Structure 1
Amino acid sequence: MNTSRKERSVSTFSIVGYDPKTDELGIAVQSKFLGVGAIVPWAKAGVGAIATQSYANTSYGSKGLDLLARGKTAEETLALLINEDADRHLRQVGIVDAKGRAASFTGQGCYEWAGSMTGPCFAVQGNLLVSEETVRAMAQKFVQTTGSLAERLLLTLEAGQCAGGDRRGKQSAALLIVKEKGGYGGFNDRLIDLRVDDHPEPIQELKRIFELQQLYFAKPKEQDQLPLTDDRISIIKSSLHSLGYLSLTQHWRDALQQFIATENLEGRMGTGTQTIDRVVFSFLQKKAKE
């Protein structure tokens, strides 16, 4: 039975990407559709990443990852998925496998403008767009941008919106990054799994949440460990006092530990006693000024 046009099309634009340096796979997506992150992005570490959209066949996600896990390439997986789908003319899907090979498909029934671009380690696709410039801008941004995969995907998504984006507007966005043992505690592969389900500026809100995710869960970098100079200790004391953590009889280190525990920043504390993480130092000052 053919899919009815009365169903809501997940008209959107997305980027599927792979970072060979870190073996991270991911998807970033934006749409004028509620909760797009629950439908479009699928990924498994060491296997591949898939974006399924436009009257999305969500079985493309689970079936596609299974095919990739069994050794099929992105192109082979795509062909198998669409060949067995009677409604493939309504589908749009992008796939990147764990070797960076990419494939994308846009059915003839997808609302204009609809299309895609692929290259080494990425697949960009969109439908119901203002113009093809959205896809072109995204592909160019991904290729030219450096940084972590998450940062590159977010910048790519933003470039697509700036170039026109979904012609109906904006509502939701999502970012999914997977890596072997990348999840909380190393128990799964969900390095980053963030969603903005309903917001007037979903990409900007997604970026804000991503910054929080980096604050709480990103591993501290050695170059971000600041020496505890007298000036910095003075700023720490002043900030802790204004926030109500530091009393006259309390040592500032104890107050700092209390602040860190309250704000869930334990993951950013190193083993050294003569340094403070740059991000924690900045966050403490920001909180004190609020």
Structure 2
Amino acid sequence: MKLLKRSLLVLSSLLVASSSAAAADRPINTRLFGTRAIIACDPVEKSCGMAVITFPSGASGLVPYGRPDVAVASMSVPSVDDANAIIARIDKGEAPQAAIDNVLAVDPEGSIRQFAAVKLHPDGTVTVGQRTGSEANPFTCAVKGSTFVVQANNMTVGSICDAMVQGFQQTRGSLPQRMLASLKAGARVGGDKNGERSGVIRVWNNTSASAPYTHVLAEATVHGSMTALRDLEVQLIRHQAGIAPPYAADLVVLDRDTARFMKRSLRRLGYYDGPMDGSWSAGAEQALADFTWNNIFHDKPTVVENGVRKIDGVLVRFLANTDLDVLLPASAE
């Protein structure tokens, strides 16, 4: 009986060892990494960044690399070594395309990678690069523009890159908002074959009024969500409204409906007690200033352009997509 138990124990150990060895030797499931992204720099805003949406959680730690003057997206089967090597070559003066080509040429797995890079130069020009390996996930696409790259792999349709380009180019707003629009435009025609459950939008800037605090101008991260794109939008607006200074491109007309909405929000938080009509008074402006003082890094006053009063549209959307109970009311010291 003891011999039988010992034999079964040895057999069990051998099976476990065999299973572990087989798992260790098992190739990566490349179909897991279907991803689409836009990587871009804005010479006016002096920002670089990207917007990414994919299936597996962890996009924020797998795909984006960068800083205010350069951004690199590592996709298909990501590689941290390749991403850092591309940035190092760009820092030494290589163009983004040459840097990508040279790094992937010596990578034994370069054929399964997809990389894009954008570089913002001190003179305000932008150079870009992109390469998709010959064995990367099927249904790939890539479009290089003057200041951006759109690329995707393992998509339901091959036209998704063109749709994302149109969304980016046809949208008015700051770089983070235009990149969000690019993702949303792509979603209208297709997406990841596995579904889209994870994503990240990250923009770097070291010249804005936020630079003394952080070079991350805008940030949104979502993992394991059935509404990943919607969640990305909400998180981006919350972060950008709270940290970034207002951009002229994000201003919207303060029409009567928007004025009423802002007054309702400010009244609920105790900052405003005036008339609830569609006008905008000095009292309403003071209430807005008091609210931003307690809750936001930067003042975001209304402005008058050609006789038309405008307000930061990101701030308006922030109040529309935030639980007001998490904000400091007027009574807060």
- Structure 1 length as normaliser, TM-score? 0.78
1:218 counterpart (228, 244, 264): 244
Q: How far is 1:104 from its partner?
A: 1.2
2:110 counterpart (88, 105, 122): 88
Amino acid of the structure 2 residue aligned with 1:108: S
Q: How far is 1:181 from its partner?
A: 4.2
Over 3 Å counting, the alpha-carbon distance change for 1:134 and 1:219 in structure 2 is: same
The alignment partner of 2:202 has SS state of strand
1:134 aligns with 2:165: no
Q: Deviations over 1:204-239 (max 9, x none)?
A: 111111221232123247997x99xxxx8xx96x86
The alignment partner of 1:155 has SS state of helix
Instruction: Note if contact 1:183-1:189 (Cα within 8 Å) is conserved in structure 2.
Output: no
Distance in 2 separating the partners of 1:102 and 1:76: 10
Q: Deviations over 1:171-202 (max 9, x none)?
A: 01111111224484525422112211221121
Q: Deviations over 1:88-112 (max 9, x none)?
A: 1110111112232222111121221
Amino acid of the structure 2 residue aligned with 1:107: G
Query: Could you tell me which residue of structure 1 aligns to residue 198 of structure 2?
Result: 172
Distance in 2 separating the partners of 1:77 and 1:203: 31
User: What stretches of structure 1 of length at least 5 have no aligned partner?
Assistant: 271-276
Over 3 Å counting, the alpha-carbon distance change for 1:167 and 1:244 in structure 2 is: same
Instruction: Note if contact 2:272-2:287 (Cα within 8 Å) is conserved in structure 1.
Output: yes
Instruction: Note if contact 1:90-1:110 (Cα within 8 Å) is conserved in structure 2.
Output: yes
Over 3 Å counting, the alpha-carbon distance change for 1:140 and 1:198 in structure 2 is: same
* Runs ≥4 residues deviating over 6 A: 221-224, 238-241, 244-247, 252-258, 280-290
Query: Could you tell me which residue of structure 2 aligns to residue 273 of structure 1?
Result: none
Distance in 1 separating the partners of 2:320 and 2:194: 40
Over 3 Å counting, the alpha-carbon distance change for 1:183 and 1:202 in structure 2 is: farther
Amino acid of the structure 2 residue aligned with 1:27: M
Distance in 1 separating the partners of 2:95 and 2:73: 15
The alignment partner of 2:71 has SS state of strand
Distance in 2 separating the partners of 1:121 and 1:203: 24
Query: Could you tell me which residue of structure 1 aligns to residue 298 of structure 2?
Result: 267
Over 3 Å counting, the alpha-carbon distance change for 1:120 and 1:266 in structure 2 is: closer
The two structures, once aligned, show a CA RMSD in angstroms of 3.8
- Structure 2 length as normaliser, TM-score? 0.69
2:225 counterpart (195, 199, 215): 199
The alignment partner of 1:105 has SS state of strand
Query: Could you tell me which residue of structure 2 aligns to residue 50 of structure 1?
Result: 72
Query: Could you tell me which residue of structure 2 aligns to residue 274 of structure 1?
Result: none
Query: Could you tell me which residue of structure 2 aligns to residue 21 of structure 1?
Result: 44
Instruction: Note if contact 2:42-2:175 (Cα within 8 Å) is conserved in structure 1.
Output: yes
Q: How far is 1:68 from its partner?
A: 1.2
Over 3 Å counting, the alpha-carbon distance change for 1:74 and 1:244 in structure 2 is: closer
Instruction: Note if contact 2:30-2:76 (Cα within 8 Å) is conserved in structure 1.
Output: no
1:79 aligns with 2:110: no
Amino acid of the structure 2 residue aligned with 1:28: A
Instruction: Note if contact 2:101-2:131 (Cα within 8 Å) is conserved in structure 1.
Output: no
Q: Deviations over 1:230-284 (max 9, x none)?
A: xx8xx96x8666546799xxxx99998885565x2352266xxxxxx95678977
Number of residues of Structure 1 aligned to a counterpart in Structure 2:
274
Query: Could you tell me which residue of structure 2 aligns to residue 208 of structure 1?
Result: 234
User: Which range moves more in the overlay, 186-195 or 17-26?
Assistant: 186-195
The alignment partner of 2:231 has SS state of helix
Q: Deviations over 1:70-126 (max 9, x none)?
A: 111111111111011000111011111223222211112122101311121111111
Once the two structures are aligned, what percentage of the paired residues are identical? Answer: 23
Query: Could you tell me which residue of structure 2 aligns to residue 38 of structure 1?
Result: 61
Amino acid of the structure 2 residue aligned with 1:205: D
Instruction: Note if contact 1:181-1:187 (Cα within 8 Å) is conserved in structure 2.
Output: no
What pairs with 1:279-290 in structure 2 (closer than 5 Å)?
A: none
Q: How far is 1:141 from its partner?
A: 2.5
Query: Could you tell me which residue of structure 2 aligns to residue 119 of structure 1?
Result: 145
Q: How far is 1:287 from its partner?
A: 8.1
1:10 aligns with 2:36: no
Q: How far is 1:54 from its partner?
A: 0.9
1:148 aligns with 2:174: yes
